[in-house]
Structure 1
Amino acid sequence: MLAIIKELFINLMIIIAILTLGNMIVRDSLIKKSKKHSFIIGILSGVFGCLLMLFSVRIFPNIIIDFRCIPILLMGIYFSLSATMASSMVIGIFRVAVYGLNMASFSGLITALFLGLVCGLIGKQNIGIKNKWIFSGIVACVVPGISFVLLLMGSNNLYLIVLVYVISTALAVLLTSQFMKYIVKSNEEYYLAKESLNKDFLTGLQNIRYFDTSLNQNLDEAKKTQKPISLLFMDIDFFKKVNDTYGHLNGDIVLKEVGQILKRLSRDTDVVARKGGEEFTVLLPDCDASKAVKVAERIRKKIEENIFVSDQKEEIKITVSIGVSSFPETIADEEKLIEQADIALYKAKRSGRNKVWVAP
C-alpha cells in the first residue's frame, strides 16, 4: 500500500511539474488559438500522456493504472476537439507501440480515442469550466472503468482494481482542476501586470516606454521594407491655464478625453501614447507625410470643436499644436524622426498655436 501511495504521489507531482513548465513555455502564445497551434499543443499533450504511462502505478503484480486521461481532459476543456483527438491518438498509438498489439493495447487505443471524442465534445459546450471538469472527470472514471471490467471479467480483484482506479483518477482530476484554476488566475494577473507596464495610468493610452520600443521596431521594419513611417508630436495649448482655472481634477478629465479622441481617430496599427503631462504622440506606420498631415489636421480640428465638460458642468475649450515628421519622405535619417517632430511642434507653437507643422 505504501508503494502505491508513493507512486501516486510521484504521478501527481509529474502532472504539476509538467503543467507549470508548459504554462511557462506557452503562456504568451495561448491566445493564438488557431487550428495549427491547437493541433501542435494537442500532440505535445499526447507526449505528456505517454510520460504518465511510463510512470504507471502498479496496484497488483500484473495490473497497472496511470493518469493518461489528464492530458486528454485538459485539451478538451481548455483547447479544442482537434487538440483532444490529437492527444488521444498519440497516447493510443504509444500504448500499442510500447506494449504490443494485444487485447489490452487495442482496448487502450479505443478507450483513449473514445475518451478524447467525448471530452472534446464536452469542452465545446457552454457550461462553464467547473461543469466541464465534473462531466469530463466522470467520463474519465467511467470509460476506462468499463474497459477494466471487460478485460478483467472473472478476476477476484476486479472490483478492488476498479475502485482504486476510480478513486485515484478522481483525486488526480480534482488536483489538476484546482491547479489549473490557480494557473488561469495567475495568468490573468500576469497579463494584467504586463499590460499595465505599458499603459499610462490616467488615459489608458500606451506609455512612453511602450512607445520607444514600438518606434524602434517600426523604424527597423520601415528600413527593411522601404515603407514610410510618420510621427505626430502633440501638445495641448495653454494647458496650465486649464489646471489653474478649473483645477487639476478637471485637467485630468480633459487629458482622458483627449486620449479617447486620439484613439478614435487612429488606426489599429497606430501607436497612440502619452509622453507625460499634456504631451501625446501618435506613431503612424506605413503612412507618408501627406496622409500624416491629414490625420494631424483631423485630430486638431476635432479637439478644437470638442466641448469638454468639467465636474461642475462647465464647458472647457482647448486647442492643440502638432508637429509632424516622416521617414524617408521629409527626413532622410530615421534617427532624427523624434528630433524633427519635436522641432516641428515647437514651430507650430511659436507660429501662434492651434496649428499643424511639418518637419523640416
Structure 2
Amino acid sequence: MRTLKAKIILPLIGLVVGVQLATGLFIAYRVKEAMHHENHRRALAVAYDLAHVSARSLISRDLAELRTYIRYTMTQEYVTQAMVVDEDCRIVMHSNLTKIGEQYAGTCPEQGQSLISAHYRNEKGENVVDALAPIEAAGVHLGTAILTYSHIGIENEIRLLSGKIALILGLGSAIAILFALLLAEYIVRPIRHLSRAAEALGTGHFNLKKMETDYSDEIGELAKSFYEMAGKLETEVCHDALTGLFTRNVFQIQLSEECARSQRHKSSLAVLMLDVDHFKKVNDTHGHGVGDEVLRHIAAILSRETRSSDCPARYGGEEFVVLLPDTRQSAALHVAEKIRSRIEADSFRLPDGRTIPLTVSIGVALFPEDTADHTWLVEFADQAMYEAKKLGRNNVFPATRLKRAQP
C-alpha cells in the first residue's frame, strides 16, 4: 500500500509532466503548421511575381528578360529552383538551362488556378513543395510559373523549438518534482497544534489556520472532522439560518474593525440599511412561508450585487444591512441604487406563476463623513432609510440630507 505522500507525488508529477509534454507537442505541431502555411503563401507570392514577368516575356518572346528574372527569383530565400512551362506543361525556361524543353514532372493546374503541390524530397534530401501560378494575358492562358520552395528553414526552426521545449520540459519536471515533494510534506503535516485551534475556536475565532505537526491517517481524519465541525459551527454562529447572510453580531464586529481600519488609513466606508416595502402585506396575503422565500430571494440579490469584501447581513425581520469598506458616498449611492433597481426588476415568482412585485427603501450613511462614531453609523443609516420610506418608498436616501445635530 502506497503512503499518502506517494499518492500525492506520483499523480502530481505524472499530471504536470503529461500536461507539459502534450502542450509542447501541440505547440510544436501548431508552429510547424503555421510556418508551412506562411511558406506556402510566400512561395505563391514569388510564383505570381514570376508569372507576371513571364507573361510579358512570353508575349514578346524576350526569353532573356525571363532568364534574368528567374535568376533574381533564385536569390529569394529557400527557393531551390524556378521554371516557366507552356500550356502543354513543357519547360520553356528553367534555373537549370539543361532542363529547358523537358516535360514538367508534376501536374500543371487547370487554367486560371494556382496550386501548392504535395511535399516531397528533392535530390538534396530537403523537404520541398512546388508553387504553381498561372501565366495569363488578356484572359489567355500562356503557361504556368513554377518554383520549388524548401522547408529546410522550418525544419531548423522546429529543431531549435523542440530543443527549447525539451529544456523547458526538463526544468518543469524538476520543478514539479520539487513542488510535489514540498506539497506532499505540507499536506502530511498540516496540523501541529489542534489544542490551540480548539482554544481559538472556543474564544469565537473561526479563521483557523492548518497546523503543522505530523499526523498519521487517524490523526488526519481527526483533523478533517475537526475543521468540518469548525466550519459548521461558524455557519451556525455567523450566518443567518434563513437567508444565509451574516448575522447582526458578525456585522457589528466587522463594522467596528472596519471603522478602526478606516481611521488608520484615512479612508471612508458606508453602511446601507434596507427595509422591504409592504412586507407585512406579503405575509398577510401569501403566508409566512412565502415571506421567508421572499427574504431568501432578496438575500440572494444582495450577495450577487456586493463584493466579496463587503458584509451583507440580516439585521432583523425584513431589514438588511450592508457594510461597504473603502467606499465613498458616490460609490455607496451607486451600489444602493443598483441593489434597489435589481430588487425592483426581479419580482418574486410564486409556484403558480404569479409574481409578487418587490421594492426596498435604502438609507446610506458614511464614516467618517456623517459621523466619526461607528456606534451612530447604523442609527443614521436607519434614519435615512425611514426618510426614504416617507418619500414614497422604493428610494435611496443619504444620511447627509438628514436634518439632525451631529453627535
TM-score range, shorter chain: 0.5 to 0.7
Instruction: Give yes or no for contact 1:250–1:311 (8 Å, CA) kept in 2.
Output: no
How far apart are the structure 2 equivalents of 1:229 and 1:350?
Answer: 25
Q: 1:238 aligns with which of 278, 287, 305?
A: 278
Q: 1:292 to 1:239 in 2, by over 3 A?
A: same
Residue 381 of structure 2 aligns to a residue whose secondary structure is: helix
Q: 1:181 to 1:291 in 2, by over 3 A?
A: same
How far apart are the structure 2 equivalents of 1:217 and 1:332?
Answer: 14
Question: C-alpha displacement at 1:185, in angstroms?
Answer: 1.2
1:24 partnered with 2:205: no
1:293 partnered with 2:333: yes
Aligned partner letter, 2:256: N
How far apart are the structure 1 equivalents of 2:244 and 2:258?
Answer: 22
Question: C-alpha displacement at 1:225, in angstroms?
Answer: 1.1
How far apart are the structure 2 equivalents of 1:263 and 1:234?
Answer: 14
Question: C-alpha displacement at 1:29, in angstroms?
Answer: 6.7
1:195 matched to which residue of 2?
235
Residue 357 of structure 1 aligns to a residue whose secondary structure is: strand
Instruction: Give yes or no for contact 1:270–1:284 (8 Å, CA) kept in 2.
Output: yes
1:207 matched to which residue of 2?
247
How far apart are the structure 2 equivalents of 1:313 and 1:293?
Answer: 33
2:352 matched to which residue of 1?
312
Question: C-alpha displacement at 1:196, in angstroms?
Answer: 1.6
Question: C-alpha displacement at 1:351, in angstroms?
Answer: 1.4
1:222 matched to which residue of 2?
262
1:349 partnered with 2:377: no
Q: Give every structure 1 segment of 4 or more consecutive aligned residues whose post-TM-superposition deviation is greater than 6 Å.
A: 18-21, 27-30
Q: 2:224 aligns with which of 184, 187, 193?
A: 184
Which digits, 9 at most, give the CA deviation of each residue in 1:92-114, with x for residues without a partner?
xxxxxxxxxxxxxxxxxxxxxxx
Residue 275 of structure 1 aligns to a residue whose secondary structure is: strand
Greater Rg by CA? 2
Which digits, 9 at most, give the CA deviation of each residue in 1:102-154, with x for residues without a partner?
xxxxxxxxxxxxxxxxxxxxxxxxxxxxxxxxxxxxxxxxxxxxxxxxxxxxx
Aligned partner letter, 2:196: I
Aligned partner letter, 2:246: Q
Unpaired runs of 5+ residues, structure 1, are 1-17, 33-37, 46-70, 75-175
Q: 1:339 aligns with which of 347, 360, 379?
A: 379
Question: C-alpha displacement at 1:311, in angstroms?
Answer: 3.0
Aligned partner letter, 1:24: S
The count of aligned residue pairs is: 205
1:263 matched to which residue of 2?
303
How far apart are the structure 2 equivalents of 1:354 and 1:251?
Answer: 18
Q: 1:191 to 1:346 in 2, by over 3 A?
A: same
Q: 1:291 to 1:180 in 2, by over 3 A?
A: same
Larger CA deviation: 187-196 vs 207-216: 187-196
Which digits, 9 at most, give the CA deviation of each residue in 1:267-302, with x for residues without a partner?
111000001211000000000111101100011011
Kindly report which structure 2 residues correspond to 1:154-193, keeping only aligned pairs within 5 A, or say none.
Answer: 176-193=216-233
Aligned partner letter, 1:243: N
Instruction: Give yes or no for contact 2:255–2:374 (8 Å, CA) kept in 1.
Output: no
Aligned partner letter, 1:268: S
Aligned partner letter, 2:378: I
Q: What is the root-mean-square deviation of aligned Cα atoms in Å? A: 2.3
Instruction: Give yes or no for contact 2:363–2:397 (8 Å, CA) kept in 1.
Output: yes
Aligned partner letter, 2:367: F
Kindly report which structure 2 residues correspond to 1:70-89, keeping only aligned pairs within 5 A, or say none.
Answer: 71=214, 74=215
Which digits, 9 at most, give the CA deviation of each residue in 1:236-280, with x for residues without a partner?
000000111111111111110100100111011100000121100
Which digits, 9 at most, give the CA deviation of each residue in 1:208-228, with x for residues without a partner?
011111111111111111110
How far apart are the structure 2 equivalents of 1:229 and 1:179?
Answer: 44
Question: C-alpha displacement at 1:182, in angstroms?
Answer: 2.6
Instruction: Give yes or no for contact 1:246–1:310 (8 Å, CA) kept in 2.
Output: no
Q: Tell me the TM-score normalised to structure 1 length.
A: 0.53
How far apart are the structure 1 equivalents of 2:244 and 2:207?
Answer: 24
- Larger helix fraction of residues: 1
Aligned partner letter, 1:264: R
Residue 295 of structure 1 aligns to a residue whose secondary structure is: helix
Q: 1:227 to 1:235 in 2, by over 3 A?
A: same
How far apart are the structure 2 equivalents of 1:233 and 1:244?
Answer: 24
How far apart are the structure 2 equivalents of 1:254 and 1:19?
Answer: 42
Residue 358 of structure 2 aligns to a residue whose secondary structure is: coil
Q: Tell me the TM-score normalised to structure 2 length.
A: 0.47
1:274 matched to which residue of 2?
314
How far apart are the structure 1 equivalents of 2:334 and 2:341?
Answer: 10
How far apart are the structure 2 equivalents of 1:224 and 1:281?
Answer: 24
